[in-house]
Amino acid sequence: MSRFLRTSAWYLERLGLSIYRRQLVFYFRPPAAQAPAPTILPGAEIRFVRSEELEKLGYPGGWLSLPEARQWLERGDSDCLAVIRGGKIAAYMWAERKVARIDYLHLEVPLPAGHVYYSKVLVMPEHRKLGLARAMHQYLAHSEPHLAAHAACVTENLPMHRLFIGSGWQPSGRLDIYKLGPLKIYRVERAREGRRHRAFCSRPRSEDLFL
Ligand SMILES: CC(C)(COP(=O)(O)OP(=O)(O)OC[C@H]1O[C@@H](n2cnc3c(N)ncnc32)[C@H](O)[C@@H]1OP(=O)(O)O)[C@@H](O)C(=O)NCCC(=O)NCCS
């Protein structure tokens, strides 16, 4: 971005007119008959956690605060998968089952039946590069292979791209938001039947992203 644009953006932000473009790359894992169970580090446990366990397991915050994580679990439409090491949550991610809440792009998109959106992956810094993010995705592929799974990450998140590409996920599209204050325009790009489709809209629908 040029200096002029950066300065203009800064002034607009001060006026409450934040201006930016953000992009997510979407991945898709089609339903499959079966996937092998993950190998996890000795002494580590991988499982879904309940709302009342979060505090005892030292829920580390991050994408969602403790009250938000409790609220998400108690709402009953999302599950939190965690890797527990030494009695504490070392990594977690969410399986959103009714609505994909894509906070980064200010979006909530309903999910078709039989589809799941895996999101908010976080591995605590001291547990990174040990295969925990990969193990969580393998666990889900093993435990719910019948679901059509979606996930997304920013272009520059190399570990996540490596993880998806190396685990049989397929890139399924890109979604951009162009935001100027209260104005939001989305650009959806999908590859369907070998052809690229691009469209601008004020709010992407479920079928634009997931079908
Ligand atoms: C991204 C993140 C989840 C990866 O977790 P992790 O447990 O360290 O990842 P894994 O050990 O399972 O590694 C997955 C792949 O990424 C690679 N990788 C991990 N960290 C990397 C790094 N810093 N740079 C490049 N590649 C990296 C691994 O080598 C592996 O690929 P490979 O099997 O082809 O070798 C973790 O770094 C994190 O929590 N980051 C901050 C939050 C975030 O970005 N979340 C994702 C939001 S979509």
pLDDT per residue as tens digits for the range 93-129: 999 999 999 999 999 999 999 999 999 999 999 999 9
17-42 pLDDT, tens per residue?
A: 888 899 999 999 999 878 999 999 99
Ligand 1 geometric centre to CA of 120 (Å): 13
User: CATH second-level architecture of 3-210?
Assistant: 3-Layer(aba) Sandwich (3.40)
DSSP at 112: P
- pLDDT above 90: residue 159: yes
User: Ligand 1: does its nearest atom lie under 6 Å from the Cβ of 25?
Assistant: no
> Of 27, 63, 20, 26, which is closest to residue 177 (Cα–Cα)?
20
> Of 166, 143, 145, 149, which is closest to residue 81 (Cα–Cα)?
143
- pLDDT above 90: residue 4: no
User: Ligand 1: does its nearest atom lie under 6 Å from the Cβ of 51?
Assistant: no
User: How many CB atoms lie under 10 A from the CB of residue 123?
Assistant: 22
Collapsing DSSP states into helix, strand and coil, what is residue 185? strand
Is the model more confident about 1 or about 141?
A: 141
pLDDT at 34: 83
pTM value? 0.93
Mean pLDDT of 168-183: 93
The whole-chain average pLDDT of the chain stands at 94
Q: In which residue are the tokens 């951009």 written?
A: 176
pLDDT at 87: 97
Q: Give me the residue spans of the domains in the chain.
A: 3-210
Atom number in ligand 1 closest to CA 152: 48
Interatomic CA distance for residues 94 and 56, integer angstroms:
19
Q: In the numeric block, which tokens belong to residue 126? A: 């001291």
pLDDT at 1: 63
User: Ligand 1: does its nearest atom lie under 6 Å from the Cβ of 35?
Assistant: no
- pLDDT above 90: residue 192: no
pLDDT at 29: 96
137-155 pLDDT, tens per residue?
A: 999 999 999 999 999 999 9
Interatomic CA distance for residues 100 and 116, integer angstroms:
8
Query: At 50, is the pLDDT very low, low, confident or very high (cuts 50, 70, 90)?
Result: very high
Is the model more confident about 10 or about 28?
A: 28
Q: In which residue are the tokens 């691009």 written?
A: 198
